[in-house]
């Protein structure tokens, strides 16, 4: 990217949709990187039992309407998806990937760490599942219960998590199942917006979490990361449901409150992955 391009704060038009935009060259130069921090992914005693896996609930919609009528071309952030998965994969756990509709998981490919062979390799390993995920209603009907093979649920970040997941009865059912059966729930950045699906259920009342701060979302249009402001604040709504958001900035902070594991941003991708992998291994070795 040339110097002239890298200072351009105008959102980049998405040629696939009318009035939709990718982040500006400037914002990409500041907030994406070709390689990721993958340190600490050594697990000398990985899980080898073959049963326990993680249910991943991905975003299945790309376009997020903003307050000025433009659309943000979004999805799941690759770093916020693949770095936590990388650690859990290294620790011996497999994944089932699902979306609400059964349509493919959408990704913010402009944030893919393109020079990171380990991350790209993991993406390719699960590419078929990302393209042909399970339908969440089918998972609930056929695969959830007291004897389910899921040790946890992972909801990746990215603004795509703001579309559909917060209102989903299916996501609510999964989170209620996880709480009732003492399962892990792992998420970061905008992913915790999916917790709004629990609505009036008290299962997370008083829980501490990390999430992307509303105040920073308000600033993203200034640098062209988004083409307009969000129409609602997910952190504000989470607090109204009884969550306590422990961070007010992004620094890579993570939080574990019982079996709810969260991180603040892409900066937390690697640390949250280590936290999750270690917690999952402790659980299976205890069992």
Active site amino acids = 189
- 126 Cβ neighbours under 8 A, 6+ residues apart: 85, 95, 97
Cα 27–chain centre separation: 20
Pairwise CA distance, residues 234 & 107, whole Å: 20
CB-based burial of residue 18 (10 Å sphere; 0-12 exposed, 13-18 middle, 19+ buried)? exposed
**DSSP bridge partners of 71:** 20, 65
Q: Are strands 12-13 and 208-209 parallel, antiparallel or unpaired?
A: unpaired
Query: What is each CA distance from 66 to 161, 162, 229, in whole angstroms?
Result: 14, 12, 5
Q: Reading across the β-sheet that carries 260-263, which strands appear in turn?
A: 134-135, 94-99, 53-57, 150-155, 184-188, 260-263, 254-257
Pairwise CA distance, residues 12 & 23, whole Å: 6
Residue 283: how many CB atoms within 10 A of its CB?
Answer: 17
């Amino acid at each position: 990217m040339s110097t002239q391009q890298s200072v351009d704060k105008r959102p980049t038009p998405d040629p696939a949709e009318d009035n939709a935009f990718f982040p500006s060259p400037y914002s990409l130069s500041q907030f994406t990187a070709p390689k990721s921090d993958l340190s600490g992914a050594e697990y000398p005693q990985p899980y080898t039992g073959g049963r326990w896996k993680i249910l991943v609930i991905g975003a299945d919609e790309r376009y997020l309407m903003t307050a000025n009528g433009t659309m943000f071309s979004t999805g799941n952030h690759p770093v916020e998806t693949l770095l936590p998965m990388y650690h859990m994969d290294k620790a011996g756990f497999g994944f089932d990937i699902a979306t609400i509709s059964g349509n493919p998981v959408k990704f913010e490919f402009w944030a893919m760490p393109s020079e990171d062979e380990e991350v790209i390799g993991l993406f390719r390993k699960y590419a078929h599942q990302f393209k042909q995920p399970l339908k969440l209603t089918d998972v609930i009907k056929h695969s959830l219960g007291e004897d389910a093979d899921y040790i946890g649920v992972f909801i990746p970040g990215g603004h795509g998590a703001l579309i559909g997941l917060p209102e989903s009865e299916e996501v609510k059912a999964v989170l209620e199942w996880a709480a009732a059966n003492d399962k892990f729930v792992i998420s970061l950045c905008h992913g915790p917006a999916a917790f709004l699906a629990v609505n009036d259920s008290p299962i997370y009342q008083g829980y501490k979490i990390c999430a992307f701060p509303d105040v920073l979302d308000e600033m993203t249009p200034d640098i062209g990361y988004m083409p307009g402001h969000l129409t609602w604040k997910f952190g504000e709504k989470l607090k109204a449901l009884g969550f306590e958001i422990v961070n007010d900035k992004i620094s890579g902070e993570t939080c574990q409150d019982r079996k709810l594991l969260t991180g603040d941003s892409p900066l937390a991708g690697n640390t949250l992955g280590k936290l999750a992998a270690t917690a999952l291994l402790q659980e299976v070795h205890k069992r």
